[in-house]
Amino acid sequence: MTYDIQVFVTLKEGVLDPQGNAVQTSLTRLGYDGVQNVRIGKKMDIRMESEPEKVESDVREMCEKLLANPVIEDYEYTIEEALSV
């Protein structure tokens, strides 16, 4: 079966995000005074062949091994059957 997977990788809470801070400063300078916090993460779109019983464990393993660094990053994912293959 073909799946469309989205993986979101974000810095763990409490880990400094220099990029987010820079963007926050810039937004404030643009006049968006209400901006209180900006955190920058990554989104990855993955299409892959797998089986219903193993797709989630594969995705989790991919996140743990490579896509996220568990020391400083958290990850989330969504898994959907691909609509058009």
Partner 1 sequence: MKFAVIVFPGSNCDKDMYYAVKNELGEEAEYVFHDETSLDRFDAVLLPGGFSYGDYLRSGAIAQFSPVMEAVKKAAAAGKPVLGVCNGFQVLLEAGLLPGAMRRNKGLKFICKPVTLRTEENATMFTSEYKQGEMITVPVAHGDGNYYCSDEDYRILKENGRIVFTYTDDLNGSKANIAGILNESGNVLGMMPHPERAVDTLLGSADGLPLFRSIVANWRETHAVHR
Beta carbon nearer to partner 1, 5 or 67 = 67
Give residues 1-60 in contact with partner 1 (rule: CB under 8 A).
Answer: 11, 15-16, 18-19, 22
Among 72, 76, 81, 82, binds partner 1 (CB under 8 A): 72
**Phi and psi dihedrals of 43, rounded to 5?**
-120, 135
- Tracing tokens 């896509």 back to the chain, one arrives at 67
Beta carbon nearer to partner 1, 61 or 81 = 61
Site size with partner 1, rule: CB under 8 A: 11
CB atoms within 10 A of CB 11: 19
